[in-house]
Structure 1
Amino acid sequence: ARETLAGVLSAKANLKAANTHNSASSPSRHLARAASSTVGRHKSITKTSAAPVSALQGVKVMRVLLAALAATAGARPPAPLKWRGGSVAPRPPPPPPKTLKPPNEDTTTPLERQLLEKVRVYARGLDAYVKPEKVVKKALAGAAALDYATVEQTLAENAAYAATEHPDYGRLAARLAVDRLHATTSSSFKETLLTLDDEPNPTTGEPCHILDAGFRAALENDKYFVAQVEGAISDERDFDGFDYFGYKTLEKSYLLRHRGGVHGNGIAERPQHLLMRVALGIHRGWESSEQLERALETYDLMSRGHFIHASPTLFHAGLKRAHLSSCFLLGSTDDSIEGIYKALGECARISKAAGGIGLSVADVRAAGSKIKGTGGESNGLVPMLRVFDATARYVDQGGGKRPGAFAAYVEPWHADIFDVLDLKKNHGKEERRARDLFYGLWVPDLFMRRVRDDAEWALMCPDECPGLTDAIGNAFDNLYETYEAQGKFKRKVKARKLWRAILDAQMETGTPYMLYKDACNKKSNQQHLGPIKCSNLCCEIVEFANNDEIAVCNLASLVLPRFVKNNEVDLEGLKQTAKVVATNLDATIDHGTYPNAAAERSNLRHRPIGIGVQGLADLYALLRLPFDSEEAQKLNVDIFEAIYVGALEASIELAKKHGPHDSYAGSPASRGELQPDLWGLDAKELDAKSRWDWAQLRADLARYGLRNSLLTAPMPTASTAQIMGCNECFEPYTSNLYARRVKAGEFVVANRHLVKDLCELGLWDENLRRDLLRAQGSVQGLAIPDDLKALYKTAWELSQKSLLDLSAGRGPFVDQSQSLNCFIAAPDYGKLTTFHFRGWEAGLKTGMYYLRTRPAADAIQFTLEASAPGAAAAAPTTIDDGRGGHVEACVSCSG
């Protein structure tokens, strides 16, 4: 007892002395020391005695502890300290000790537990880097009110903001967003569409009746049809089929919405309902078991992410106004008031139906040329194009989905060419600009030879030198040189002067596009129809059009990473899926609605389709193939050969059933010449090297013909690749970090393949993430293995020669063309000239879609979090998505 009392007194003395010296130590710490001193003195009992400490001894210890606590609580505050003759107020007593909680006690609130339970359910199967607790805490911290409904609405976007840490946060965000959609929409496909069809028009009060009448009748009356359709829909695929940004793209532009009234303007359609609507809209005639089977097969493949149709088909399939086609080409604009305004009206009607437009203006007379009817002089191309420019702004694509988009093509011999090159520039007189149009050059080989040889180039008026737009190859050379010799040109310039003007425009605006007139015509299966005078808005469609026919194309894209199985590409599965897609696109020709008779006439006569791809970069990442490797080049050829063979097989089978397309006779295919033959590949060598039976294919072609004049056209896939969570078309990644803008804000996400690789190596942490942000998405300067640096080179770090080689490698299996971009961070005349001439010499049809550059001041700013180590001193980190500031994606061609 004496020892115990002495210990307590000693503790009190220590505590008082500490307070006298203005110690910051808390009473709880002194109490702990007293307890330690007391118990320490009793340890000898437990150590030396075999018997345990008695109850009486325990009570004594507790009394001592309580006495120490009382002494601490009752201590008087120390007297003010004297300092240089003044007095200083004492520090306030320290706060009372915190209540210690058992280590396993749950400290979360009921609301937090409820939210955590939900997020944990949707985080199942995701990477361990995904922390549900983090998402919930951020949602609670930023909520306007702490109730379940308010906070639950923000869970998805808070998960999306964490996508820079790990891409699986984006998948979690998508699942949470889909959960909210499913909570507010019907699970019944029939109920959803009939409700939408019956909703009153807000203006007239009459039912909207947006559905195709036959489709509505089947939903109302055919119980077998409805049972088969409802039974096939897999709602659970909504939760794993999209990442957050893919889902938000669907939500913004693709899913059908209510039209006010009791439902407001909310979304009515689920993603699986959209895909089923598209499948049934393509394969009409559901009373036929074969057609219904095709529709359900199409739904299943799209639902599992193997392919997707182009945006206009997603917008309109199954509806009363089924505008399913993507691209429209006006072959030439007549050089008269009637012809020009006829073309303008056609463009307006096409744009209203969500179509992208390409038109040739090379036949319109140049400025200063005589007008026979009035005796005056023509104003040339610029004033006319300004009228088309205004129409593109006025008539948008499909009622507000995006502004209209027209691409005007001109040949470089046209006397107004220098003025056309200035039209999209940001400086200069406003009355000489038409910035909302896109411009393309239809370049004859003769011009490229003149530039190469540093020769002169004559500029001519098509009214004074007729026939140049109709002439191809040697015929063009002879006619042009005849006019040149006769002095029928407006003026002569050095070819390189015009070339530099072209490059100046491209470096400033990203355009004009470059397409090679002779390659486009000589390698076309439509060459027998007449001269092809232009491409479309995205440079992948090369089709014949004239005054009586407006060329049309229907598009879809295969999602390449879905065909990676057991670390290799399932080429057979890819070919079979290409057959399904070709059959679908052929059906859209018959079941679509057309903006005018000229477009319908052309599409039914020639039946061209365009199959493209998306996610080639994702496929290479999954297979560990650097984009510029020899293995990637070989696989690139194998992939596009499989797609072309599948499309050919499907078209031959359709021809066997329905007959070849009306203009088949006289085409290269009717002579046994397919795209590899038009590229000059040796047929026997192809047969020997290929895994496919080309000999049998040619035999079937000779017997049955082709249902479709054209088959493959790799398009940009800007919107649909975002829906499917892939990199665009056949392009490399432009960055390993991407900014995505949605209604909730702007989000930065990392390349999921890169993050997965770094996680497996144990390298992905906050420091590396911040280094990647500072490096603007480049891994070349990061402390990671060299093989990952090679695998994740961006488009800016790859040799453009490798991209041209890939494009040329797939060329013999692309019977239309391909939307090939050029990526040069800081372009100059030398780099750009080298790129163009390599593409031309390789025989490409499209030499360049856009020139992508890196802006001097990057467009997207992302500031590191202030709470992160070192962030206070860090400058704002800017991230560029690599597209340059002047380029917009074409929704219509997104296949």
Structure 2
Amino acid sequence: MTQPDVPADLPEPVLTDNARVVLAKRYLRKDAEGNPMEDFRGMFLRVAGTVAAEEAKYENSPYTVEDLTREFYLLMTSGRFLPNSPTLMNAGTDLGQLAACFVLPVEDSMDGIFDAVKHAAMIHKSGGGTGFSFSRLRHEGARVGSTGGVASGPVSFMKIFNTATEQVKQGGTRRGANMGILRVDHPDILKFIECKSSEGTELNNFNISVALTERFMQAVENDEEYELIAPHTGAVKDTLRARDVFTRLVRKAWESGDPGIVFLDRVNRDNPTPEQGEIESTNPCGEQPLLPYEACNLGSVNLAALYDAEADDGIDWEELRRVVRLSVRFLDDVIDASRYPLSEIDEKVRRNRKIGLGVMGWADLLFRLGVPYDSREALRLADKVMEAVQAESKAASKELAQERGPFPAYDSSSYAQINLGPYRNATTTTIAPTGTLSIIASCSSGIEPLFALAFSRNVMDGERLVEVNPYFEDALRRAEAHSRSLMEDVAKKGTIHAMEHLPEDIRRVFVTSHDISPEMHLKMQAAFQKHTDNAVSKTVNLPSDATEEDIHHIYTLAYELGCKGVTVYRDGSLSGQVLCTGEPGEVEKPKLGEASRVMQRPEMVYGFTRKVRTGLGELYLTINEVDGKPFEVFATIGKSGHSIMAKAEAVGRLVSLALRSGIGVEEIVKQLEGIGGEYTVFAKKRLLKSIPDAVAYVLRQRYMDDMNAGNDSGLGKPGCPECGDTLVFEEGCHLCRSCGYTKCG
């Protein structure tokens, strides 16, 4: 691929240093040696030109290809709109797969199951994420007629999907992501709810959600039993008390964040093409319900870029209309430009032509307007903004239908039944995760509040830079309250909620996710859902001391408010803690020579989990820290009850006891390093001889080497597996705001 010609009058993209790092690492095209083959301007022109070229097919288009290329380029480089990552990565390349979201059917046969595994691998290789419903698979113990044997059930097959995902690197950039869904009336529902209880192991490439039905929710409310239906026969297999199942679901979400929930009947009521079947699953983050073999390409409008200080309410509504209409045209052209990995997907996508235009920069817009996220005014504005986005996207789709014709399935769609349209696209709006896109556009993610007003990140050779939200920093300067020490303090705590020395109006406006009540999180999600065709990606972040009753209330309220699903995350609920704000409790430290005085475990500790390949299998080593120093170690390998797991657990317990007794890392590493075993492997140019040797290897890398290699860097910061910086959990996914790594694609 050659660098495209760039007209001299096209401006350079407006990019922060962090955006440049992310683009260079993940989006610029590279040669076989990893050297960039394009610059930032060339990348955006490649995408704009490839997508705009599709206009040549349509005689009634009001644009020339050249003019539209310019419009698309300016739309993206101004930060007003960005498409999903596969479009930025693959437009104008040999791969040419531009969609992010796919759903594949999993049929109740060996051929059907392994066809789905193969097809998922093809999608992951092309840069997409996949969703599956495993609800068609017969339950564990059910008879298999062809062999006379018994079925192993959905969860066992999910492990096969997970292993396949682990082996496929998406487009050379990241591993695939999956959503696994099971109906609440499937006989294996209790096993499914518990299937991710073992952290970081057999289903680490899956998000999971339980599909709740109206019948089930009514049974919960009325304290009734409900029926479990064998999917291969339709017969009633058993009954369960609905409240018991709901309580089990809540408990697991409290423990780890999984499973989430999706209200399946509500999703299907909004299915615009019901004659093509029921919607069974969503994409990995839950915001895009799709029919089997459907795909959807997504994009987001940056609301913060539409702030207008001269407007009465601070928003340039005319520019919003222009940006939305141009973005809809862009996304419709992407359908034509994309090369899908399966013929079944190509046919389904072009039949329904679904697109998902959403928003990002919502929290930043509220900052600029001086409106607190957790206020009635913010909810009113959310309703007004998304209503405008929905109305303009539908108007744009109607215009495209006049130019190009409606989506082929329009005549049998729900729109035709009530004389709406015709539309070019079966759906037009989705609020998707915008993790890396928001870094490129230098704005807040999706409709989430900020996780932290300031955070520190690696820049080079171990140096760390405090990055502050620009609107927060500007407000402090105007109030003459800004200082470097304050910024460092905010970066440490993330929030200014308790900083009473700051002006009250600043503390009221600049709230973060943990400052906001769960009810307000949900009300904001519901306000945007009201005007969104598909669904809304949002996480209800909870403090570590949140109770199971709190999550029970959240799930019930999500149902009452009309949400299509919900994801919760309780701070500290995983041993591989993502990003936490606040400081660990004070711990009494032993005096020198008092190793027998074992430090007591504080109520809250934070840490990271590191995967290390050993000759005996994958070792998952969790290290929790206090004051940036290792405090306890958990080593997991193989299955509980096996001798190798017992040995790993013993090593972890003894290392933890040594650390809590005041023995230094250097002495522990000295004792463990080099212990031999019967199987050795090479890892990161180092021979690992045994489990103790692997533990020493991680401890040395993290705490002793001058330059940390691999996954971790910087004491006390739970790690991004690529750059070692902190991860945040928002929009249903883990994200590194330093390098753009995201677990969900």
Amino acid at match of 1:755: E
The aligned counterpart of 2:424 is 707
The aligned counterpart of 1:883 is 728
- CA, structure 1 residues 268+233, in 2 after alignment: closer, same or farther (shift >3 Å)? farther
Amino acid at match of 1:233: L
Identity of counterpart residues, as a percentage? 25
Q: How does 1:536-551 map to 2 (within 5 A)?
A: 536-545=283-292, 550-551=293-294
1:884, distance to aligned residue in structure 2 (A): 5.2
1:747, distance to aligned residue in structure 2 (A): 4.2
1:412 and 2:184 matched? yes
CA distance, structure 2, for counterparts of residue 744 and residue 667 of structure 1: 57
Q: How does 1:47-196 map to 2 (within 5 A)?
A: 193-194=1-2
Of residues 224, 241, 262 in structure 2, which corresponds to 1:494? Answer: 241
The aligned counterpart of 1:304 is 78
Which whole-Å deviations, capped at 9, do the CAs of 1:544-569 have from their partners, x for residues lacking one?
A: 22xxxx10101111111110012511
- CA, structure 1 residues 662+773, in 2 after alignment: closer, same or farther (shift >3 Å)? closer
- CA, structure 1 residues 743+370, in 2 after alignment: closer, same or farther (shift >3 Å)? farther
CA distance, structure 2, for counterparts of residue 279 and residue 839 of structure 1: 39
Q: How does 1:7-406 map to 2 (within 5 A)?
A: 193-194=1-2, 226=5, 229-235=6-12, 237=13, 241-260=14-33, 265-284=34-53, 290-330=64-104, 332-399=105-172, 401-406=173-178
CA distance, structure 2, for counterparts of residue 891 and residue 659 of structure 1: 39
- CA, structure 1 residues 784+855, in 2 after alignment: closer, same or farther (shift >3 Å)? farther
- CA, structure 1 residues 292+758, in 2 after alignment: closer, same or farther (shift >3 Å)? same
Which whole-Å deviations, capped at 9, do the CAs of 1:495-545 have from their partners, x for residues lacking one?
A: 222222212222233222211011101123233432111111111112222
Which whole-Å deviations, capped at 9, do the CAs of 1:187-229 have from their partners, x for residues lacking one?
A: xxxxxx526xxxxxxxxxxxxxxxxxxxxxxx6xxxxxx5xx4
1:633 and 2:410 matched? no
- CA, structure 1 residues 884+646, in 2 after alignment: closer, same or farther (shift >3 Å)? closer
Of residues 536, 550, 572 in structure 2, which corresponds to 1:831? Answer: 550
CA distance, structure 1, for counterparts of residue 199 and residue 338 of structure 2: 43
The aligned counterpart of 2:258 is 511
CA distance, structure 2, for counterparts of residue 257 and residue 381 of structure 1: 40
1:588, distance to aligned residue in structure 2 (A): 0.9
Of residues 338, 341, 345 in structure 2, which corresponds to 1:599? Answer: 345
1:623, distance to aligned residue in structure 2 (A): 0.5
1:740, distance to aligned residue in structure 2 (A): 3.8
- SS at 2:534 equivalent: coil
Name structure 2 gaps, 5 residues minimum: 58-62, 584-625, 629-714, 719-725
Amino acid at match of 2:437: T
- SS at 2:298 equivalent: strand
The aligned counterpart of 2:197 is 425
The aligned counterpart of 1:554 is 297
The aligned counterpart of 1:721 is 438
Amino acid at match of 2:96: A
**Greater percentage in helix:** 1
CA distance, structure 2, for counterparts of residue 378 and residue 855 of structure 1: 33
| Contact preservation (8 Å) 2:166, 2:205 | yes
CA distance, structure 2, for counterparts of residue 725 and residue 760 of structure 1: 21
CA distance, structure 2, for counterparts of residue 259 and residue 882 of structure 1: 30
1:812 and 2:620 matched? no
The aligned counterpart of 1:120 is none
1:822, distance to aligned residue in structure 2 (A): 1.2
The aligned counterpart of 1:452 is 221
The aligned counterpart of 2:481 is 763
- CA, structure 1 residues 856+713, in 2 after alignment: closer, same or farther (shift >3 Å)? closer
Asked which structure has the greater CA Rg, the reply is 1
CA distance, structure 2, for counterparts of residue 733 and residue 708 of structure 1: 32
Question: TM-score when scaled to structure 2?
Answer: 0.75
| Contact preservation (8 Å) 1:862, 1:879 | no
| Contact preservation (8 Å) 2:352, 2:425 | yes
1:267, distance to aligned residue in structure 2 (A): 2.4
1:775 and 2:502 matched? no
CA distance, structure 1, for counterparts of residue 97 and residue 325 of structure 2: 23
The aligned counterpart of 2:277 is 530
1:397, distance to aligned residue in structure 2 (A): 1.6
The aligned counterpart of 2:508 is 790
Alignment RMSD (CA, Å): 2.8
- CA, structure 1 residues 883+498, in 2 after alignment: closer, same or farther (shift >3 Å)? farther
Amino acid at match of 2:427: L
- CA, structure 1 residues 231+837, in 2 after alignment: closer, same or farther (shift >3 Å)? same
CA distance, structure 1, for counterparts of residue 742 and residue 273 of structure 2: 23
- SS at 1:324 equivalent: coil
CA distance, structure 2, for counterparts of residue 768 and residue 287 of structure 1: 55
CA distance, structure 1, for counterparts of residue 468 and residue 716 of structure 2: 14
CA distance, structure 2, for counterparts of residue 778 and residue 461 of structure 1: 53
1:426, distance to aligned residue in structure 2 (A): 2.5
CA distance, structure 2, for counterparts of residue 808 and residue 862 of structure 1: 26
1:564 and 2:307 matched? yes
CA distance, structure 2, for counterparts of residue 233 and residue 286 of structure 1: 21
| Contact preservation (8 Å) 2:579, 2:728 | no
1:572, distance to aligned residue in structure 2 (A): 1.9
1:315, distance to aligned residue in structure 2 (A): 0.3
With 605-614 and 639-648 compared, the bigger mean Cα shift is at: 639-648
1:636, distance to aligned residue in structure 2 (A): 0.9
CA distance, structure 2, for counterparts of residue 427 and residue 648 of structure 1: 43
1:242, distance to aligned residue in structure 2 (A): 1.9
1:445, distance to aligned residue in structure 2 (A): 1.3
| Contact preservation (8 Å) 2:294, 2:345 | yes
CA distance, structure 2, for counterparts of residue 860 and residue 506 of structure 1: 18
1:410, distance to aligned residue in structure 2 (A): 0.6
| Contact preservation (8 Å) 2:257, 2:573 | no
Amino acid at match of 2:40: P
Amino acid at match of 1:608: K
1:579 and 2:325 matched? yes
- CA, structure 1 residues 863+257, in 2 after alignment: closer, same or farther (shift >3 Å)? farther
CA distance, structure 2, for counterparts of residue 273 and residue 852 of structure 1: 42
- CA, structure 1 residues 271+637, in 2 after alignment: closer, same or farther (shift >3 Å)? same
- CA, structure 1 residues 349+793, in 2 after alignment: closer, same or farther (shift >3 Å)? same
- CA, structure 1 residues 381+560, in 2 after alignment: closer, same or farther (shift >3 Å)? same
Amino acid at match of 1:736: L
| Contact preservation (8 Å) 2:272, 2:426 | yes
CA distance, structure 1, for counterparts of residue 445 and residue 54 of structure 2: 34
| Contact preservation (8 Å) 1:861, 1:879 | no
CA distance, structure 1, for counterparts of residue 369 and residue 115 of structure 2: 52
- CA, structure 1 residues 707+785, in 2 after alignment: closer, same or farther (shift >3 Å)? same
CA distance, structure 2, for counterparts of residue 317 and residue 744 of structure 1: 34
1:893, distance to aligned residue in structure 2 (A): 11
Amino acid at match of 2:530: P
- SS at 2:169 equivalent: coil
Which whole-Å deviations, capped at 9, do the CAs of 1:344-396 have from their partners, x for residues lacking one?
A: 11111111110100011100000010111111111111221111010110112
Name structure 1 gaps, 5 residues minimum: 1-192, 196-218, 220-225, 466-482, 674-697, 865-873
Aligned residues between the structures: 594
| Contact preservation (8 Å) 2:212, 2:263 | yes
- SS at 1:589 equivalent: helix
Amino acid at match of 1:290: T
- CA, structure 1 residues 754+296, in 2 after alignment: closer, same or farther (shift >3 Å)? same
| Contact preservation (8 Å) 2:102, 2:290 | no
Amino acid at match of 1:426: S
Question: TM-score when scaled to structure 1?
Answer: 0.63
- SS at 1:749 equivalent: strand
CA distance, structure 2, for counterparts of residue 862 and residue 807 of structure 1: 23
The aligned counterpart of 2:447 is 730
1:637, distance to aligned residue in structure 2 (A): 1.3
